[in-house]
Amino acid sequence: MSKKRVFSGIQPTGQIHLGNYLGAVKNWVDSQDDYENIFCVVNSHAITTTQNPQELREKTFELAGMLLACGIDVKKSNLFIQSEIDEHPALSWILDCNISMGEMNRMTQFKDKSLKNSKNVNVGLFNYPALMAADILLYQTDGVPVGEDQKQHLELARNVAIKFNRDFGECFKIPEPMIPKVGARVMGLDDPDTKMSKSAKGANHAIFLLDTPEEILRKIKKAATDSQTAIVFDENRAGLYNLLSIYQIFTHQSKDEIEKDFEGKGYGEFKIALADVVIEALRPIRQEYVRLNAEKGYIAKILAEGADKVRPIARETYQKAKELIGLI
């Protein structure tokens, strides 16, 4: 029986942080044997905000190198750059013409990002969900690993696929959301009420995968906790709960085991233990990233090969949609 096909994308803006890794990338790596995987650096999505062209090119390759360093195995998964497959924007236009303004207006991320970037609220930002839907539907995707913040966009992709199939004929698979139960939402170290973000300004907000051991220790020591003393999993104690959840993901221990290990111990001791765990987990990723970047042209070659493998799937889907809607 063939494996289910999974599609995931990540933007090349800012550095990958612990939230990206634990909430998405680590799950991609760990499940590579279970699915037919298509991973995409979604650089076209990045230009909804103004980018320096040279920096965008560099960050696109840096992100691809980081995904490989994290463990994306090109013998098991396909990795490519979104803008190298012309069918993404082409299908997006067809989908645009089949999504109502009402549906687009309900997208909460557009409202949030418009407030944060009020000087450049462009049509691309508004239409972002249509391009995301095209990314997914082009590859006849069975499942999409998504965080809660992207679930609404996936629902739009499902809705437009169902509508298109009904109105014009069978064309798209209807993708299902895949939301990991653990690590799906890592919060900011300095503000555990907000999701860890690349764009947050605080120096101690996020741990980046290329941070030095000294930087990781400093950030964890300064992480927000509370005035209580017991080290227990309590969702009402957001700062401590966030740190304990990170510790649990890396150590694979149960909540009871962790609470027993730190019974009678203070925050300082726990934070040092957490820093040690994070530092050791990220060390091989940093080392592999340096090694990959020393091999000039290797990452570009991997990305070109990945695009060549998935392009026929995208082309076939787009041609079918084009015919069904009457464009040829």
Which candidate in 26, 59, 113, 271 is catalytic?
113
Taking the C-alpha atoms of 156, 159, 161 and 165 in order, what is their torsion angle to the nearest 10 degrees?
Answer: -160
Residue 113: active-site member: yes
Residue 173: active-site member: no
Residue 119: active-site member: no
Element (H, E) at 77: strand 77-81
Task: Say which residue the tokens 């150590």 belong to.
Answer: 251
Residue-wise burial string across 97-114, b where 16 or more C-beta atoms lie within 10 A, e elsewhere: ebbeeebbeebeebeebe
Which candidate in 163, 195, 221, 309 is catalytic?
195
Rounded to whole angstroms, the maximal C-alpha distance in the chain is 72
Averaged over successive runs of 10 residues, the pLDDT of the chain (328 residues) comes to 90 89 89 95 92 94 95 96 98 96 81 67 86 97 83 91 97 90 76 86 90 96 94 95 94 95 95 97 95 88 97 98 95
Domains contained in the chain, CATH given: 5-184+296-325 (3.40.50.620), 213-291 (1.10.240.10)
Which candidate in 76, 198, 309, 322 is catalytic?
198
Amino acid 73: pLDDT: 96
pTM equals 0.89
